[in-house]
Amino acid sequence: MKSMAEIRVAQPDRYQSVEVASFAFFDIETTGLHPDRGAKITEIAILPRSGQRFHWTQPENDIGDKYLSEQLSAVLAHLTTGVVVGHNVGFDLRFIAYEAERLGFRGPDVLYIDTLGLARNFCNNTKDYTLSSLLNAFDISIKGPLHTAIVDARATRALFWKLINYGNIETLAQAGMQRLNWSTF
């Protein structure tokens, strides 16, 4: 019989319970919206169910490739453990995919859930679906300023569990888990 730790580390299938799945709550901060137009990643945070798994901030006044390249293999490894959860996570994963390809890394096989999509499916009474609006709608308070990767990842983690409870979601399929195909992303 597998231990809970072994179950949580393994790549889950769509019908696995959210209660036993391993999650990597993920956020990045960037200098702009388009990596192909020069925007760079300035901060990356990856959190497990509790605590912190990975946090990196680009050194001030140095947005060169050296520091990101040194961290990217660790980031890619963390994104393959369990299911990545983010708010508008496609934006973040596109940046990672762009930088991985540009710096010569191969993108890993990633399973992900987007809290933006979950909120759109279950929340009809909010003015918009920004992270801050959804935190207000669910009365979630987070320490620290939003728009930093570590705080946004913590906020996404709290929002995810509220949405899971609100929507009575039991499986990863019900939560909208998808597989990222790096070659077509």
Domains identified in the chain and CATH numbers: 22-184 (3.30.420.10)
Give pLDDT tens digits for 134-170. Answer: 999 899 999 989 999 999 999 999 999 999 999 999 9
Cα dist from 92 to 4, 26, 27, 67, 125, whole Å: 29, 8, 7, 18, 26
Of 73-77, 103-107, 117-121, the range with the lowest mean pLDDT is 103-107
Give CA–CA dist 162/166, Å, rounded: 6
| Average of per-residue pLDDT values in the chain | 88
Task: Classify 38 in phi/psi space as left (phi over 0), alpha (psi -120 to 50) or beta.
Answer: left
Q: How confident is the model at residue 180 (pLDDT cuts 50, 70, 90)?
A: confident
Q: Give the three-class secondary structure for 100.
A: helix
Of 14-28, 29-43, 52-66, 96-110, the range with the lowest mean pLDDT is 52-66
Tell me the mean pLDDT in the region 35-51.
91
pLDDT above 80 (res 11): no
For residues 84-105, one letter each, b for 16 or more C-beta atoms within 10 angstroms of the residue's C-beta and e for the rest, the string is bbbbbbbebbebbbbbbeeeeb
Q: How confident is the model at residue 69 (pLDDT cuts 50, 70, 90)?
A: confident
Tell me the mean pLDDT in the region 173-180.
93
Give CA–CA dist 39/17, Å, rounded: 37
CA 175 to chain centre: 14
pLDDT value at residue 123:
84
pLDDT value at residue 185:
55
